[in-house]
Structure 1
Amino acid sequence: MNIHSFFILKKSGACIYNKNFTNEIDYNVNLITPFFSAIFSFSEKIISRDLEVLEMGGLRFVFEIKDDFIFVLLSDSTASILFVNTRLDKIADIFFKKFPDTEKIQDYQEIEDKEFDQMVDSIIEGEEEIFKERALYDKMINLFKDLIFQNEIIGAAVLATNGNIIYSSLPNEILLRSLKELEIRFMTGAVELPELFYSLDDGRKVFSKYVKIPWKIDNFLIVLLFDKNVPLGMAEINLHKVSKQTINLI
């Protein structure tokens, strides 16, 4: 679920900034940017719509157009689209603050700025958000680890509503399904839908609940994985108990 690369293009197609976060994807920036330009030209002229997401071969390009610039993140297709979109928004904001006179940026110019590099890295890793809420997140993580130790649950995850994974001990396929659930909640306007439940083929039960903390802007989706032998009623009771414990963490 990695974010691999970031690009800033001018609408002319010129790439003025690019940065890699992993070594997993090998590409030539001089070849990939004309591809973006061609795709955007097709999108605007043929279907008269801006391109937002493009998926191919297990990878996903996410685009954000602001003024004369196109911001692009390349990630695995399994990465949370909510998280990727919030990264793009934040990077675009700091770009315009860092370089307010964008008319001076020429098509042939490639931005080299160590401070901007560090700001981009911090946003991609979610460092600032985690640092601001470190005390709360540590308490949440300890709570779920204790529940697992006490055999009340066999796995859990805490997902911020921006798609950030605060904590997870879930198997990867369940985590991906939970991230997709969060995306669907947003797309359908059902973010605050109280809770959802489904059973796995082996009888294990997965419960998820939207938790709204009164003093926080960003809220959470908690996901609990129960053993197949735990009755539905008991699992639901534990879900409500855990959500109350989470809300009371100060």
Structure 2
Amino acid sequence: MNIHSFFILKKSGACIYSRNFTDEIEYNVNLITPFFSAIFSFSDKVISRDLEVLEMGGLRFVFEIKDEFIFVLLSDSTVSILFVDTRLEKISDIFFKKFPDKKLIKDYQEIEDQEFNEMVDSIVEGEDEISKERALYKKIINLFKTLIIQNEIIGAAVLSTNGNIIYSSLPNDILLRSLKELEIRFMTGAVELPELFYRLGDGRKVFSKYVKIPWKLDNFLIVLLFEKNVPLGMAELQLQKVSKQTKNLI
């Protein structure tokens, strides 16, 4: 689950900034730019709507348009859309603060600024958030590692409500399903729905709970995976216990 690249384009079609975060995807910026121009022209003239997300071949382009600029992140389609959206929002904010005079940004010249590069890297990696809450996240990770050793819990995850994975020992398919659940909670306005439960085909049980911290803007979704022989009542009791322990850390 990687974010591969980031682009800033002007609505004229010129790419004024590009940055790669992995070497998994090879492309030519001079070919990417006409592609973006074509799909935005189609979106505007044919369906009269701004393009927000485009998926193809296991990859996802996410777009954010502000003023005369188009901000684009290219990621695996498995990366949380919530996480990508918040990355774009933060990067666009620092872009306008860093380059307040738009007249100085030329169509024919890409931005080269090491400080801006480092800020973009920090945001894409989630490091800007982790650094603010490093002590808290460390406590949460230690708590969940201990819980898995001592209880019937065989896997767990803690997700921030912007899609950041704070901790996970879940199998990848269950983690992806949990991230999708978080997205659906937001899309349906049910983000604060207290608890959800489902049973896997092999009988294992997955419980999730929204943990709200009154003084924090960024709350958590806790996901616990139990063996099939753990009674529902016991699993729910463990979920409540873990939720309380998490709140007591904060």
Q: Under a length normalisation based on structure 2, what TM-score does the superposition of the two structures give? A: 0.99
Deviation at 1:215, TM superposition (A): 2.3
Other-structure match for 2:63: 63
Other-structure match for 1:78: 78
The alignment-based identity, stated in percent, is 86
Deviation per CA, 1:36-89, whole angstroms, max 9, x where unpaired? 000000000110000000000000000000000000000000000000000000
Quick one: distance in 2 between partners of 1:105 and 1:124? 23
Quick one: distance in 2 between partners of 1:229 and 1:24? 41
One-letter code aligned to 1:118: E
Deviation at 1:159, TM superposition (A): 0.3
Secondary structure at 2:162's aligned position in 1? coil
Q: CA RMSD in A?
A: 0.6
Give matches, 1:31-42, under 5 Å: 31-42=31-42
Quick one: distance in 1 between partners of 2:134 and 2:115? 24
Quick one: distance in 2 between partners of 1:245 and 1:87? 30
Give matches, 1:1-250, under 5 Å: 1-250=1-250
Quick one: distance in 1 between partners of 2:55 and 2:80? 13
Aligned length: 250
Give unpaired runs (5+ residues) of structure 1.
Answer: none
Quick one: distance in 2 between partners of 1:42 and 1:30? 19
One-letter code aligned to 1:200: L
Quick one: distance in 1 between partners of 2:13 and 2:78? 27
Quick one: distance in 2 between partners of 1:209 and 1:229? 21
Quick one: distance in 1 between partners of 2:152 and 2:131? 29
Secondary structure at 1:108's aligned position in 2? coil
Q: Under a length normalisation based on structure 1, what TM-score does the superposition of the two structures give? A: 0.99
Is residue 159–residue 220 contact of structure 2 (8 Å, CA) maintained in 1? yes
One-letter code aligned to 1:103: K
Deviation per CA, 1:3-30, whole angstroms, max 9, x where unpaired? 0000000000000000000000011110
Secondary structure at 2:202's aligned position in 1? coil
Give unpaired runs (5+ residues) of structure 2.
Answer: none
Is residue 152–residue 230 contact of structure 2 (8 Å, CA) maintained in 1? no
Quick one: distance in 2 between partners of 1:152 and 1:244? 17
One-letter code aligned to 2:244: K
Deviation per CA, 1:218-241, whole angstroms, max 9, x where unpaired? 100000001111000100011011
Is residue 9–residue 16 contact of structure 2 (8 Å, CA) maintained in 1? yes
